[in-house]
Amino acid sequence: MTEEEFDAFYATAFPRLTGQLYAFTGDHGEAQDVVQEAFVRAWDRRREFLAEGAPEAWIRTVAMRLAVSRWRRARRWLELVRSTPPPEHTPGPGPERTTLITALRTLPETQRMAIVLHHLCDLSVEQVASETGAPVGTVKARLSRGRAALARVLSEDSADSAGSARPTDSAGPSGRGEREDDRVR
């Protein structure tokens, strides 16, 4: 069967086969999908179709098998969903996470994005630069400024929650935190 003959065959057989598969599946969209898939598979065999003598029967058989296969897959999925009990209770975010998200909201968007991509998504500085379209140096600056701003906001929150008593063991004589590996403790 040539490409032109196949196209003519498709034009005449598709509506008829879709109607037959609709009667079989009860879902017009599903019928169209499986008939289309059967025609896609037939495309590779179009040269052999004349020799077989019943191309429409072959496509109908393939479409019906596809429909049954999809139905079985959907049934297995439904059985799996029904057999898996829902979780008893999904806990919400803890107070630390809520505090962090609140503190992140105080940052400018560019710093917040850099912090989230680098620290929460575990992307390297180069990957963050690639995703944001910013130079590596700019990303490093945003990370540094963002971490410093977060440290200020989080230390204010912890001071407020401790009754405005500032911890004296981590602050040096200048009032700044001790630095270790570019992180404020």
What is residue 165's predicted lDDT score, i.e. its pLDDT? 45
pLDDT (average), residues 100-126 = 91
The 10 Å Cβ neighbour count of residue 167 is 11
Backbone angles phi, psi at 93, to 5 degrees: -65, 145
pLDDT band at 134 (very low <50, low <70, confident <90, very high): very high
Whether the pLDDT of residue 92 is over 80: the answer is: no
Q: How many residues does the chain have?
A: 185
The structure's pTM equals 0.44
Residues 177, 59: Cα–Cα separation, whole Å:
74
DSSP assignment of 122-140: ---HHHHHHHHT--HHHHH
pLDDT (average), residues 41-49 = 77
